[in-house]
Amino acid sequence: MSRISRRSLLGYSGTATAGAVLGGTAAAQPAQAAEAEQAGEAEQAGATAPADFPNGTLFSGNSQLVQGDMNPDLTIKFSVGVSDAPAANVISPLEIAEALNELAATKGWPPITFYGTPAPAPLN
């Protein structure tokens, strides 16, 4: 076995590849393998968890097309403010971002990653 720890291997390559590399070692030590898998899943969940944006945050994103000597650019900005609404009636910024991406895709634009301001953090 090399000097690469299971935890670092899981963090870099995912559980399937790590299991293949580790082979029978994980089966021989199930408690350690389960712990390493949980650590890898926790790291992945933390990396993909969206930021928590306050009500009324301004979001913006852009997309570019490459068409010969032209470089068309699409910029979209939006903000969502909801107050005293039941949960069933709340429209989240992520839902707006997904809907705008669907619209842009129908017109041939690549997906847009929207960022919230003032702190530049990705929404989607």
Task: State CA 117 to chain mean position distance.
Answer: 17
Residue pointed to by tokens 């580790």:
22
Model pTM score: 0.57
Tokens of 63: 């997309």
Provide the 8-state DSSP code for 121: E
Sequence-distant (≥ 6) Cβ neighbours of residue 96 within 8 angstroms = 59, 78, 80
Q: What is the full per-residue pLDDT of the chain (124 aa) written as tens digits? A: 444 544 444 444 444 444 444 454 444 444 444 444 544 444 444 455 557 888 889 999 999 998 888 889 999 999 999 899 999 999 999 999 999 999 999 999 999 999 998 666 787 7
